[in-house]
Amino acid sequence: MQLPDIDLAITALTAPLPMGYAQVTPEQWLQAAHAVQHADGRLIALWAGPANAHDAHPKPECMYAAYATQAGAFWLAVPLTSSKLGQMYPDLSALFPAAARMQRAVRDLSGVQATDFDDARPWLNHGAWSADQPPLCQGPQPTLPLSGDLQDYAFVRVEGDGVHEIAVGPVHAGVIEPGHFRFSVVGEKVLRLEQRLGYTHKGIEQRMAQLPPLEAYRLAGRVSGDSTVAYGWAYCMALESACGVQIAPRAAWLRALLLERERVANHLGDLGALGNDAAFAFALAQFSRLREDWLRLSKQVFGHRWLMDCIIPGGVGVNLDRSQCAALAQQCNALESELGKLHEIFESHAGLQDRLMTTGRVAPELAARLGLTGLAGRASSQGVDLRTDHPFAPYDSLNVLKVTHHSGDVAARVAVRFDEVFESLRLMRQMLRDLPEGEVRVTVSLPEQPSRGAGWVEGWRGEVWVALDMSGADASHRILRCHLHDPSWQNWPVLEHAIIGNIVADFPLINKSFNLSYSGQDL
């Protein structure tokens, strides 16, 4: 794909880095967006930051967009322009609907806004800071912000005979994270759902700028606890790219092994919970048992049930001996056997299938238009998986099978989970059998000059993106900006469409079939 009038080389990538990067004019910014859309590419992320890696001033001067096409990933920077309304940049939401919430978040966190973008409602700011004190415009040692005004959120109302609203959350029963869901219904049928999130804001991106680059991987791994491996790998990939470091082959294979174990752990938990939400408690009992065994072996072999801090700059902080490899392979075999039996039960249970099929359907055409990604996207014919489309070591030698389904309902999202677990078990057995010898960590030396890098990893939910800007030695190797992007940004808005026409009682099932991160999109 050629981007008109932009001197930017985007090549087919056998490894994800270096990724294309260019500074563009506002006109080129829009030209590039149109070109990506025309080529069936997708928007990965939007964020504001310094104009270049030499700029240590916290006030944002550029807007950034990361895109993916069949050729690979690239990111663009456009300088902000001044107007009577403040610092501005061209709106992308008309081309990429998922950009709308990202643009609202940028306005809350960085105080800049898109031209001709009408939704002025805050997204992440629930009154924790005033609108004229955006958190990411403060220096490395920020002061405690003044609280803003807590205002009623302007939910869109549906009018008509018999229409009423059901408000759910933000406080929920159990341990679910907070989120508000406003249903407009007639009887039990849902006409519209509108979400309000942002209740878990933690200030992670502000905190990243206060940490040494070689230590910030630990915070990156805590953006969304169920994706700690994906975020840890993406951050370390960005750092290693910025530093010009190539990790050892054994370290790359161990990273992939950890990523697949994370994928399996989450799919097992979801399969049990989905069965339970469809009144099939047997599934919850069986998958909880399998998942617990899986997590216990992770703790025994890698030192942590959720594999936190196993991926570190320059490689991994863990290694495997032959007995550990044998134990992991044996567990893969045992799980595959039990999973096959459970899969047959799911497929043959008429009552369960009646609850799953046609429920919460996202048609492939709608999924493509709204930018549905990751696991949920693959259940609606959106065949994107970085492990196959843009493979890096060791995935470039593993022939990963891409799993897709086409019905786009809860049943399809369940089927994707089953198939991906089977494929992950096959991949892990091959990794354990062919694991290269050698070191598991190389030294990462921070460069003297300012630098930037990006990381791009297929987590279990979808693609995780991390963009990193660092100062040089003259500014003590500070992180100037680290943007961490969760695929839930793309998928939360689609959930609002998936529930339309279904009954209220099916929302927990539909919601769980997406299993999106509250924490991951609230930085």
Per residue in 508-518, pLDDT tens? 999 999 999 99
Structure tokens that stand for 80 in this block: 């902000």
Q: Are 425 and 335 spatial neighbours (Cβ–Cβ below 8 Å)?
A: yes
6 located within any domain: no
SS3 296: helix
Please say if the pLDDT value at position 73 is more than 70.
yes
More reliable by pLDDT, 128 or 231: 231
- Minimal CA–CA distance to 99: which of 147, 142, 37, 51? 37
* Distance separating alpha carbons of residues 70 and 487, to the nearest angstrom: 18
Q: How many residues does the chain have?
A: 523
Phi, psi dihedrals of residue 380, rounded to the nearest 5°:
-120, 40
pLDDT at residue 146 above 70? no
pLDDT over 50 (residue 11): no
Whole-angstrom CA distances from 142 to 150, 207, 339, 419 are 22, 10, 50, 47
Cα(353)–Cα(372) distance, integer angstroms:
24
Domain count, the chain: 1
User: Does the pLDDT at position 148 exceed 50?
Assistant: yes
Which pLDDT does position 133 carry in this prediction? 85
Please state, in angstroms and rounded to a whole number, the distance separating the CA atoms of residues 415 and 182: 29
Report phi then psi at 248, rounded to 5: -70, 150
Domain membership flag for residue 45 = no
HSE-CB at 422 with a 13 A cutoff on CA atoms is 16
**Is 273 contained in some domain?**
yes
- Residue 465 domain flag: yes
Q: Rounded to whole angstroms, how far apart are CA atoms 501 and 507?
A: 11
The pLDDT, as a whole number, for residue 4 is: 41
Give the residue from 163, 166, 164, 192 showing the smallest Cα distance to 180.
166
Q: Per-residue pLDDT for 331 more than 90?
A: yes
Rounded distance, CA 258 to CA 299, Å? 12
Parent domain of 374? 204-521
DSSP 19: P
Q: By mean pLDDT, which of 122-131, 154-163, 246-255, 309-318 is the weakest?
A: 122-131
Phi, psi of 390 (to 5 degrees): -140, 65
Tokens of 253: 């294979």
Residue 475 sits in a domain of what CATH number?
1.10.645.10
Domain presence at residue 275: yes
pLDDT cut 70: percent of the chain above it: 93
Say what the pLDDT of residue 58 is.
Answer: 60
Place of tokens 């809860």: 410
- Give the model's confidence band at 6: pLDDT under 50 very low, under 70 low, under 90 confident, else very high: very low
Contacts of 286 (CB under 8 A, 6+ apart): 272, 338, 342
What is the average pLDDT value for the chain, to the nearest integer?
Answer: 92
CA-to-CA separations, 325 to 137, 431, 435, 506, in angstroms, rounded: 48, 10, 9, 42
The pLDDT assigned to 473 comes to 87
- Residue 61 lies inside a defined structural domain of this protein: no
CB-CB contact of 386 with 457 (8 Å): yes
pLDDT for position 16: 41
pLDDT at 129: 87
Q: Mean per-residue pLDDT for 439-446? A: 97
- Burial pattern 316-344, b for ≥16 Cβ within 10 A else e, equals bbbebeeebbeebbebbeebeeebeebbe
Residue 36 falls inside a structural domain: no
Q: pLDDT-based confidence at 396, cuts 50/70/90? A: very high
Residue 326 contacts by C-beta under 8 Å, 6 or more apart in sequence? none
Helix, strand or coil, per DSSP, at residue 163: strand
Using the predicted structure, report yes or no on whether residue 67 has a pLDDT greater than 80: yes
Separation between Cα atoms, residue 346 and residue 283, nearest integer Å: 9
* The pLDDT value given to residue 137: 84
- Is residue 27 domain-resident? no
- Asked if the model's pLDDT at residue 241 lies above 80, the reply is yes
pLDDT surpasses 80 at 55 = no
Q: Which of 78, 72, 165, 154 is nearest to 120 (CA)?
A: 154
CA pseudo-torsion sign 330, 425, 488, 141: positive
What angle, rounded to 10 degrees, do the helices at 410-434 and 249-277 form?
A: 150
Bridge partners (DSSP) of residue 166 are: 183
User: Which CA distances in Å does 453 have to 42, 215, 247, 466, 523?
Assistant: 20, 16, 15, 8, 20
In whole angstroms, what is the distance from residue 263 CA to residue 317 CA?
A: 20
Q: What is the mean pLDDT of residues 315-341?
A: 98
Check residue 131 and give its pLDDT: 84
Which of 22-36, 123-137, 483-497 shows the lowest per-residue confidence on average (mean pLDDT)?
A: 123-137
pLDDT at 7 over 90: no
DSSP 3-state assignment of 183? strand
